[in-house]
Structures are given as structure tokens and as C-alpha cells.
């Protein structure tokens, strides 16, 4: 990897400016990806499951958050999908809870460009991260949330757990939420790709005709690798009629493109296996060595010239595949909780195993949150 400190000076300034102008780089899939995943799931819910889910989501949470989620068509799951990101912006009542639930969106295995991990080692790397993070990660909290939603807990805990599940199943499919790209001792961390800067940023198209620049690798993947346009980002989780029409179109497109995946995804219910799947996509696709050939290191950050055309094409397909998997998994999980007779047996069995597993805690046993409804 080339190192050019003189050439990097200007780009360090560019990187600092981009942090100011582009504050969305740590939010997982942007609102679009989360809403599409939730809408994919909604289409797959049984009537019994949909009724139970909507009843819980209709009780909007006042604390933590102070943010209501509106939808023009009362698609509560789609509107609520970004709620877990919205409440990371300083609206918590507890400092400890805020820190915990910010870390609960990801679990980054180290991916050293000089010695990338083999796919066979990914599970052991994830297990090490569970220990290193002391449970503050997406894998641990998602297991706990599922146990809380399916188990004997309060309505307040279930309401919070459901929102976490809707959001974080999608988060854990985003490759940059399972991967921390590094370069030996020169770059000990890039904060999940946030510090891998793209000198020629990708322009992300918005459905209103505007665009935003993805100035780092994390932002690029958050934007679904520019595989499709994005709904306008808003500092809320409201959906307009225009947003919903676009999301519905995306759902139809992905259902047609990936219909053959449903059987495979419905047979794999283990959260650890979901993380392994996303981490493998991160190692083999997001951290593709080809885009780092002319990169350089400056101030513990990595700078790459541009994303190659072959990388862009591969990334688009991977991003859409991952969002699709999130939607199918979410639907299977909720059906297994609320309507097990019509659900995937693999998911029903997995939920029962979590309920019996004394090593898996309920969500508020890990970190209690003071939930109040409007």
C-alpha cells in the first residue's frame, strides 16, 4: 500500500469537511434500506402476525425518543424501520443506555488488508468480538430482543424490542456493520469503513432529483451501494406518499429479482449464521483488495482513489441481496413468534431454543430503558 503524506494533506482536509457535510455515515442502511427491508417483511406477514405487530407499533414510544413515526398508509413497520437510528441523536434519558444501544447496531470483525481473514475463520472472529465488546453489539442485543418479544415481558419491553428487531435485522445485513477494514499498525481501525475515504466520491441519487456524496466506504454501503435511488433523508421516521410509492416499487423489483432466495433464507434462522453471512459479504465484496491497490495511508486513515466499475456492479447486487434477506428473515421471525403454525419450522425451533437458553438474557436485563408511551 502506498504512503504519501504530502499528497494526503489536501485530502485530510477534504475528509474533515465531508464529516461535517455528510453526517449520516454511521447509521447503517439509510432510511431507504431499512424501509425497504421492513416493507418486504410486511408483505410476508400472516394476518394474525400483522395484527399483533401493528397493535404494538401503533402504541408509539414517547421515551426514549420523542419521535413519532408516521405513514400515509399506516404501514407501521415501514415507518418505524429507522426509529432506532433516530433515537441515537441525543434523545435518550440515560447516558449508559445511549452508549449501549449505539453500539448495538454492529459487530465489526477486523479485516486487515495485508492479511484478510479466511471465510472459515469468521465465526471464531465474531465470537471473539462478542467477548471483546462485553455484549455491546448487534448479535447479542438482537438475540435478547427476540427473547423479550417472544417471552414473558412487559408491553413496554416488547414495544422497544420489536422496534430494535425491525431495525437491527437490517443493520446486521449491511457489510460495513460486520467489518472494520484495517492496514496493519498504520491503521488499527477505520470505524467500520468510516475512515476509508473515497477521493472521487460516489454521487447517490435521490428520488426528488437531488444527490448526496458518499465520501467514505461506510456511507457508500449505507446507501445500498447506489443500487437504487434513495428517499430524501429526513431527521424523522415519517414517510410521505412519494416515499411509500418508491419503496413499494423497490419491493416489487426485489421480489422479482430474488424470489429464488426465499427457501434458503427461510431455512436459516440462527442470528450467528446471519452475522457470518454478512461478514463473509464484507470480506469478499466490501473489502475487495482491487480498490485498495492505489490507496495510501495518512493520519491513520485510508484513502482510495475511486471505486472501480467492477466493484460498483458487484456491490449493487450484494447490497440488494442483503436487504432482501433482511426482509425475509424479519417476516419469518415475526411469523414464528405470533403465528407459529404458519411459520418456518426452523424459525419456530430457533425461538424456542432462545427462550430456553439461560445464557441469553432478556433485553432489559442487559440494559434497562425507561419506556413511556404517548
Nearest to 172 by CA among 221, 84, 106: 106
Residue 368 — pLDDT band, cuts 50, 70, 90?
confident
Q: 98 with 92: CB under 8 angstroms? A: yes
Query: Strand runs (DSSP E) across the chain, as ranges?
Result: 61-63, 109-112, 179-182, 196-205, 211-216, 296-298, 301-304, 372-373
DSSP state of 44: T
Q: Is 192 left (phi over 0), alpha (psi -120 to 50) or beta?
A: left
Q: How far apart are the first and last CA of the chain?
A: 54
For residue 178, pLDDT over 90 is answered with yes
Nearest to 272 by CA among 100, 131, 360, 143: 143
Q: Which three cell numbers stand for residue 317?
A: 447486487
For residue 300, pLDDT over 60 is answered with yes
Please state, as a whole number, how many other Cβ atoms lie within 10 Å of the Cβ of residue 46: 16
- Helix 345-356 × helix 138-150 angle, to 10°: 90
Task: Output the CA torsion sign for 118, 172, 353, 98.
Answer: positive
- The CATH code belonging to domain 5-373 is 1.10.575.10
Average pLDDT over every residue of 182-192: 94
For 292-342, the DSSP string reads: GTT-EEETTEEEES---HHHHHHHHHHHHHHHHHHHHHHHHHHHHHH-GGG
Residue 64 — pLDDT band, cuts 50, 70, 90?
confident
Average pLDDT over every residue of 330-348: 97
Q: Is 303 left (phi over 0), alpha (psi -120 to 50) or beta?
A: beta
Average pLDDT over every residue of 106-113: 96
Least confident of 1-10, 94-103, 321-330: 1-10
**Strand duo 179-182 + 61-63: pairing:** unpaired
Q: 79 with 244: CB under 8 angstroms? A: no
Q: 266 with 348: CB under 8 angstroms? A: no
Residue 95 — pLDDT band, cuts 50, 70, 90?
low
Amino acid at each position: 500500500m502506498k504512503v504519501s503524506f504530502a499528497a494526503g494533506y489536501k485530502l485530510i482536509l477534504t475528509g474533515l469537511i465531508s464529516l461535517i457535510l455528510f453526517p449520516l455515515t454511521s447509521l447503517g442502511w439509510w432510511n431507504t434500506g431499512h424501509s425497504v427491508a421492513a416493507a418486504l417483511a410486511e408483505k410476508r406477514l400472516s394476518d394474525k402476525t400483522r395484527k399483533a405487530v401493528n397493535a404494538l407499533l401503533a402504541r408509539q414510544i414517547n421515551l426514549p425518543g420523542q419521535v413519532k413515526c408516521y405513514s400515509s398508509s399506516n404501514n407501521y413497520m415501514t415507518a418505524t424501520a429507522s426509529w432506532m437510528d433516530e433515537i441515537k441523536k441525543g434523545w435518550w434519558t440515560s447516558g449508559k443506555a445511549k452508549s449501549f444501544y449505539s453500539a448495538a447496531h454492529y459487530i465489526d470483525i477486523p479485516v486487515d488488508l495485508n492479511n484478510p481473514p479466511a471465510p472459515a475463520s469468521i465465526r471464531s472472529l465474531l465470537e471473539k468480538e462478542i467477548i471483546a465488546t462485553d455484549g455491546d453489539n448487534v448479535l447479542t442485543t438482537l438475540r435478547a430482543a427476540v427473547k423479550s418479544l417472544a417471552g414473558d415481558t412487559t408491553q413496554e419491553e416488547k414495544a422497544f424490542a420489536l422496534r430494535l428487531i425491525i431495525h437491527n435485522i437490517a443493520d446486521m445485513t449491511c457489510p460495513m456493520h460486520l467489518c472494520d477494514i484495517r492496514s496493519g499498525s498504520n491503521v488499527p481501525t477505520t470505524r467500520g469503513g468510516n475512515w476509508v475515504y473515497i477521493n472521487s466520491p460516489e454521487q447517490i441519487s435521490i428520488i426528488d432529483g437531488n444527490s448526496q456524496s458518499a465520501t467514505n466506504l461506510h456511507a457508500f454501503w449505507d446507501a445500498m451501494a447506489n443500487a437504487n435511488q434513495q428517499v430524501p433523508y429526513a431527521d424523522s421516521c415519517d414517510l410521505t406518499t412519494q416515499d411509500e410509492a418508491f419503496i413499494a416499487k423497490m419491493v416489487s423489483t426485489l421480489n422479482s429479482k430474488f424470489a429464488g432466495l426465499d427457501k434458503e433464507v427461510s431455512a436459516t434462522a440462527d442470528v450467528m449464521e446471519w452475522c457470518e453471512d454478512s461478514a463473509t459479504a464484507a470480506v469478499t465484496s466490501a473489502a475487495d483488495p482491487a480498490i485498495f491497490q492505489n490507496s495510501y495511508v495518512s493520519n491513520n486513515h485510508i484513502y482510495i482513489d475511486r471505486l472501480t466499475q467492477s466493484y460498483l456492479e458487484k456491490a449493487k447486487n450484494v447490497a440488494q441481496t442483503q436487504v432482501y434477506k433482511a426482509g425475509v428473515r424479519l417476516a419469518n421471525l415475526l411469523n414464528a413468534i405470533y403465528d407459529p403454525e404458519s411459520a418456518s419450522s426452523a424459525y419456530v425451533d430457533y425461538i424456542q431454543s432462545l427462550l430456553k437458553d439461560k445464557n441469553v438474557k432478556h433485553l432489559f436485563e442487559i440494559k434497562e430503558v425507561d419506556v413511556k408511551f404517548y
